[in-house]
Structure 1
Amino acid sequence: MIGGILFDLDGTLMDHRSAADAGITAWVSARSPGHPRLAEAGALWEALEEPHLAAWHAGECSWQEQRRRRVRAFCAELELAVPSDVDAAFADFAERYRRGWTAYPDAAGAVAASAAYRLGVLTNGSQAMQEAKVRAIGLDGRVGPVLTGEVLDGHFKPSAGSYTRAAAALGLPPEEVLLVGDDLAKDVLGPAAAGMRSVWLDRHGIGRPPAGFPRISSLAELPDLVTSL
C-alpha cells in the first residue's frame, strides 16, 4: 500500500534541461558572439554536470569548487578564456538559468491529485537552490519537504541512505513510499534496491524500463498508476 510519494525535481517537476540549455547558450553568446560551437553548448554543459556534482556529493570538493571546476572545464572544451573571477562567471550563468525555471505543465495537477498522500521532493542539488526552485515553480507548501543530501546526513541519490532517510522524513517505511523520477539509476533502480517503490517518468520516449518497473510518459498518468499499485 502506498502512503507517500516522493517526486524528483529536475526533469520531473521542473524543466531543468531547457533552463540550463538556454542559460549556458546565452552565457557563451555574451562572451563570444557567433561562437562556432554555440549549438553544442547545452550538451557540453550537461555532460559536465554529473561528474562534478558527484565529486561534491562524495565530499571531494565544496559546492562552490565544483562550480569553478565546471566553468574551467567548459571553457577549455570551447577554447574560451577562463574568466578571471570564476565565481562571478558562474553566478552570471546561474542568473540566466534562474530566468528559465518553470514547472512542467503536468506538475501542479499531479501534485494536487496526490494530496491524499504524504508528499516530498527528493533531489540531489543544494538545499537552498532546490528550495528556491520549488518556490519559483509555484509548488512551495504543496509538495511537502524538499529533501537533499544536505539534510539527509550526506546521503545523495542513488545512495540507499537517501531513500531510507527520505521515507523516514515522511514518517513511513520505504516499502510504503513511491518515488517518481526521470533518472533510471537514481529514481528507479536506486530506490528499488532500498525497498522503495518507483516509477520511471519517460517524458522523451527513451524506451522501456527494466522489467518489473512501471513507466509513465506524463505526470498526468500518475494518479491512475498509484491506485493500481
Structure 2
Amino acid sequence: MMNHRPPQALLFDLDDTLWPIGPVIAAAELGWHAWLAERAPVVTDKYTVEQLRALRMALLERQPDMVADLYKLRRAALEAVFLETGADSTHIDGAMAHFHTLRNAVTMFDDVLPVLEELRTMLRLGVITNGNADLEVIGLHHHFEVALASHSFGRAKPAPEIFLAACTALGVAPEHAIYVGDDLRLDVQGAQAVGMRAVWINRSGSSAHLEAGIVPDAICASFDELLVWVKAQMRHNEDQEPKGH
C-alpha cells in the first residue's frame, strides 16, 4: 500500500537498531555477576549467569506483563534469590544501579550518528523502545524530541497505544510518521497497524520478512540507505505538490 503523505517525523527503535545489544547484555551479565560475587557470594555460589537468566524467564512466563519493564523483572527475580539464599538485601539497589551502568555501555553502529545529525535537520525525531537504555547516559537524548519507553508507558510494542502516544507527543498524525526498527513483528507490524510507515533495518541481509509475510515500506541495510530513502520520500512529496499559477 503506497503512502505518499509527506513525512513529518521519524521515530526509532534503539537496541539492535542504533547499536548491537547482544554483546552489551552479555558483558553486562558477566560484570553484574562479578559484582554480586563480591557482595553477595551466597547468590553467585548457587546461581550462574545462565541460571539467573533462566529464573527471570520463568518469572516472565508466570507474569507476562513484566515484558514492559525488564528492570522490574530483573529486580523481582533478584529479590527472590536474595530472600532464598539469605543474602544481604541492602545490596539490591547497588546491584541494579551497577547493571544500569553496564547496560548503557553501548557502541553505536558507525553509520548512526552522522545520519542522525542530518535527519534531525529535516524531520522531528523520536524514540519508542521496549528496552531500558538511558539516552542521557549514552549521550543521545538531544537528538530526540520524544522518547517513549514501555517501562514508563506501561505497554510494550507492538501494542498500538505506544505508537499512537508517541505520535501524539510529537504532534503528528501516524500517517505522517515513519518508524525505523530491526524487529519485523514489534517494529514493522506494530507501526504499520496504526497507519505509520515502517522501515526495517536489516543489516544481515535476512529474508525473514518473506517467511513471515511482512512487507516493510522499505528495507535498509544501513543508516546511509535509510537517509537516501527518507530524502527520496521528501522529494517525491515535493514533486507531487500542485504548482502555483
Tell me which residue corresponds to 1:105.
Answer: 110
CA distance in 1, matches of 2:231, 2:57: 38
Q: How many residues align?
A: 211
SS at match of 2:142: coil
Tell me which residue corresponds to 2:229.
Answer: 225
Q: Deviations over 1:170-211 (max 9, x none)?
A: 211111111001122211111111111101112344434244
Over aligned residues, Cα RMSD in angstroms?
3.7
Q: What pairs with 1:38-187 in structure 2 (closer than 5 Å)?
A: 41=50, 44=53, 48=57, 51=60, 54-56=64-66, 65-71=72-78, 83-85=87-89, 86-98=92-104, 100-115=105-120, 116-125=122-131, 130=133, 133-149=134-150, 152=153, 154-187=154-187
Tell me which residue corresponds to 1:216.
Answer: 220
Residue 11 (structure 1) aligned with residue 16 (structure 2): yes
CA distance in 1, matches of 2:60, 2:222: 28
- Residue 22 of structure 1, CA deviation: 0.7
CA distance in 2, matches of 1:67, 1:57: 11
- What stretches of structure 1 of length at least 5 have no aligned partner? 76-80
Q: Deviations over 1:90-135 (max 9, x none)?
A: 333333333x233222221221221211111111245xxx4xx322
The verdict on how the C-alpha distance between 1:83 and 1:192 changes in structure 2, with shifts beyond 3 A counting, is farther
Which has a greater percent of helix? 2
The verdict on how the C-alpha distance between 1:124 and 1:195 changes in structure 2, with shifts beyond 3 A counting, is same
Tell me which residue corresponds to 1:78.
Answer: none
* Contact 1:28 1:41 survives alignment (8 Å): no
Tell me which residue corresponds to 2:7.
Answer: 2
Output the amino acid matched with 1:67: R
Identity, % of aligned positions: 29
Output the amino acid matched with 2:100: A
TM-score normalised by L of structure 1: 0.73
Output the amino acid matched with 2:144: V
- What stretches of structure 2 of length at least 5 have no aligned partner? 1-5, 234-245
